[in-house]
């Protein structure tokens, strides 16, 4: 392998020490398995609340109160309830909020969050100051309610205000409000809701600019009207702090909406390892008294049923190399199976195994393998895997035994690109390597610690030139190192 200079090591190590200060504007690094918790947004019954800031239809006896909405959520099996601010009494008191919080607890329903309507795309002055003050007032109310999250808007630039100025003012207002929200332990989630954030890139620019660990995306699945909204939602999902799921989507140029693919939405959230609330926000034409129960019934098995989590498919039977072949590296070490493990002996350079045939999946999947270094001082798990029509390698313990990264991104290998990390690997200890591949990104974990989280839209993904290319499309290699492998498996996202 190419020598790894002391100067380059020190430069990368210094960058690593800066990483924690940048995490506020990076995707959330969630360890463990994804979890989707079903909530219901009060907005689903927007025409029926007796207390409302909006004009109401004449709905006769169907008037809804916030306590009655909590009862409805409990009766329909929702874990949570999203209590939209528009449907509280105009002069709501803390006593009222505490009564609502108590009602939720007694009914076994968690308050998943609340939502406000604001416009921060305004010129500096009294109007913007009022918008900020109104949000801060609801942050304080959310603390009384026990709501951990508030949905906020960016807004649309007021007439005569330049777009750049509106964006700067919005970011400054969000940072000010996040500072207050964070002091009370409350997240603010900006919704993909037109105006300054009508397109994914516009939203991501603002999310990355707001320097607060208490800020993220309120991902509304019905608000992108692009050619393929699912792809755009997948790009934003890693930044989500709350999700509002709609029963319909509308593609660019379509005259009518189409039924949302709940399974695909759940899949892209799991692919982002999302762990949190998913609130049904029902906006379809059908009456919510009949439409909401049907939507909840459709979502429940996708979130919680036996099919909610795709089953893992073993790729190693624990007894033989059936389905695999020894990779024909020059001077490779012998490979054998013993005691439920694949033993790869040290070679002159590379040794390893390659999947015999087409890999089970090339996109939207997770792949795991347990690997142990037995002898040697270089990588003991060079996991090559497909990314659609191309391949790349997750290097575990390279360049002297500690480097982790992906080879290659934009033609740059694991020692020099943005995925470069370092970890001390002990000999004779098992480590679980897991990669996740989606159209939006490549992610990788060692045990439960995330080491790779790289967006791949518009990036060149490729193999490092050399013999390692023989590991394609799916293979595991070592470099001058003896290693053991076990529990190789894959699952579709």
- Return d(Cα 191, Cα 152) in angstroms, integer: 6
pLDDT digits (tens, 9 = 90+) for 149-201: 999 999 999 999 999 999 999 999 999 999 999 999 999 999 999 899 998 99
Please tell me whether residue 133 adopts helix, strand or coil conformation.
helix
- Return d(Cα 207, Cα 242) in angstroms, integer: 14
What integer pLDDT is reported at residue 234 of this predicted model?
87
- Averaged pLDDT of the chain: 91
Residue of higher predicted confidence among 433 and 447: 433
What integer pLDDT is reported at residue 22 of this predicted model?
36
Q: How many residues does the chain have?
A: 493
Q: Is the pLDDT of residue 468 over 90?
A: yes
Q: Is the pLDDT of residue 9 over 70?
A: no
- Return d(Cα 259, Cα 298) in angstroms, integer: 12
Token pair listed for 45:
């019954």
Q: Is the pLDDT of residue 54 over 70?
A: no
- Return d(Cα 90, Cα 53) in angstroms, integer: 7
The residue among 324, 384, 390, 326 whose CA lies nearest residue 357 is: 324
What integer pLDDT is reported at residue 492 of this predicted model?
85
What integer pLDDT is reported at residue 16 of this predicted model?
38
Place of tokens 């020099």: 416
Ranges 58-67, 133-142, 160-169, 310-319: which has the least confidence? 58-67
pLDDT digits (tens, 9 = 90+) for 246-290: 999 999 999 999 999 998 899 889 878 899 999 999 999 999 999
- Return d(Cα 152, Cα 137) in angstroms, integer: 13
| DSSP annotation of 412 | B
Please tell me whether residue 304 adopts helix, strand or coil conformation.
helix
Q: What is the dihedral of CA 92, 96, 100, 102, to 10 degrees?
A: 150
Which pLDDT band, with edges at 50, 70 and 90, does 307 fall under?
low
Query: Which CATH topology does 312-492 take?
Result: Jelly Rolls (2.60.120)
pLDDT digits (tens, 9 = 90+) for 225-249: 888 898 889 889 999 999 999 999 9
Q: Is the pLDDT of residue 27 over 90?
A: no
| Phi and psi based region of residue 159 (left: phi greater than 0; alpha: psi -120 to 50; beta: remaining) | beta
User: Which residue spans within 79-148 are E strands per DSSP?
Assistant: 80-84, 110-115
What integer pLDDT is reported at residue 52 of this predicted model?
80
Which pLDDT band, with edges at 50, 70 and 90, does 310 fall under?
low
What integer pLDDT is reported at residue 32 of this predicted model?
73
- Return d(Cα 233, Cα 224) in angstroms, integer: 8
Query: Which CATH topology does 23-304 take?
Result: TIM Barrel (3.20.20)
What integer pLDDT is reported at residue 321 of this predicted model?
96
What integer pLDDT is reported at residue 87 of this predicted model?
95
Residue of higher predicted confidence among 160 and 23: 160
pLDDT digits (tens, 9 = 90+) for 99-148: 999 999 999 999 999 999 999 999 999 999 999 999 999 999 999 999 99
Provide the β-strand partners of residue 454: 442
Which pLDDT band, with edges at 50, 70 and 90, does 51 fall under?
confident
For the chain, give every domain's residue range: 23-304, 312-492
- Return d(Cα 287, Cα 158) in angstroms, integer: 34
Please count the helices (runs of H) and the strands (runs of E) in the chain: 9, 25
Q: Is the pLDDT of residue 25 over 90?
A: no
- Return d(Cα 64, Cα 87) in angstroms, integer: 9
Ranges 175-189, 285-299, 305-319, 442-456: which has the least confidence? 305-319
What integer pLDDT is reported at residue 14 of this predicted model?
37
User: Which residue spans within 178-281 are E strands per DSSP?
Assistant: 187-191, 215-220, 240-245, 248-249, 258-259, 275-280
Please tell me whether residue 105 adopts helix, strand or coil conformation.
helix
- Return d(Cα 245, Cα 416) in angstroms, integer: 40
Q: What is the mean pLDDT of residues 410-426?
A: 95
Strand 35-41 and strand 449-455: the pairing is: unpaired
């Amino acid at each position: 392998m190419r020598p790894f200079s002391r100067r380059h090591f020190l430069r990368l190590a210094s960058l690593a020490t800066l990483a924690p200060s940048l995490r506020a504007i990076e995707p959330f690094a969630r360890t463990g398995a994804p979890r989707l918790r079903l909530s219901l947004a009060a907005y689903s019954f927007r025409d029926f609340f007796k207390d409302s800031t909006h004009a109401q239809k004449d709905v006769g006896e169907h008037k809804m109160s916030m306590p009655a909405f909590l009862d409805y959520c409990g009766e329909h099996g929702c874990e949570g309830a999203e209590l939209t601010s528009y449907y509280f009494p105009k002069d709501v008191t803390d006593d009222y909020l505490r009564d609502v919080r108590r009602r939720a607890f007694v009914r076994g329903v968690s308050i998943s969050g609340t939502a406000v309507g604001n416009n921060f795309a305004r010129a500096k002055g009294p109007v913007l100051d009022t918008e900020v003050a109104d949000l801060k007032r609801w942050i304080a109310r959310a603390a009384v309610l026990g709501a951990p999250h508030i949905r906020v808007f960016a807004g649309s630039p007021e007439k005569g205000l330049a777009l750049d100025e509106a964006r700067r003012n919005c970011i400054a207002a969000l940072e000010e409000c996040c500072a207050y929200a964070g002091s009370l332990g409350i997240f603010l989630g900006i919704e993909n809701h037109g105006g300054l954030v009508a397109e994914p890139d516009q939203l991501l620019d603002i999310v990355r600019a707001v320097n607060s660990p208490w800020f993220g995306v309120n991902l509304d699945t019905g608000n992108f009207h692009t050619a393929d909204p699912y792809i755009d939602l997948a790009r934003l999902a890693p930044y989500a702090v709350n999700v509002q799921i709609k029963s319909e989507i509308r593609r660019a140029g379509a005259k009518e909406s189409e039924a949302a693919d709940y399974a695909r939405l759940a899949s892209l959230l799991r692919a982002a390892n999302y762990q949190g609330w998913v609130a049904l926000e029902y906006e379809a034409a059908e009456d919510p008294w009949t439409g909401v129960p049907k939507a909840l019934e459709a979502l429940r098995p996708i979130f919680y049923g036996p099919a909610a989590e795709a089953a893992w498919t073993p790729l190693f039977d624990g007894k033989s190399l059936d389905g695999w072949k020894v990779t024909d590296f020059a001077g490779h070490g012998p490979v054998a199976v013993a005691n439920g493990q694949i033993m790869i002996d040290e070679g002159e350079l590379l040794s390893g195994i390659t999947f015999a045939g087409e890999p089970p999946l090339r996109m939207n999947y997770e792949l795991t393998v347990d690997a142990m270094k037995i002898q040697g001082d270089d990588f003991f798990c060079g996991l090559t895997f497909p990314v659609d029509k191309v391949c790349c390698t997750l290097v575990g313990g390279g360049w002297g035994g500690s480097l982790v990264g992906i080879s290659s991104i934009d033609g740059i290998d694991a020692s020099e690109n943005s995925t470069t990390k370092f970890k001390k690997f002990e000999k004779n200890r098992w480590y679980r390597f897991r990669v996740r591949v989606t159209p939006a990104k490549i992610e990788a974990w060692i045990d439960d610690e995330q080491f790779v989280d790289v967006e791949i839209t518009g990036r060149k993904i490729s193999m490092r030139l050399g013999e390692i290319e023989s590991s394609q499309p799916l293979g595991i290699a070592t470099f001058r190192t003896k290693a053991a492998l076990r529990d190789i498996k894959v699952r579709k996202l």
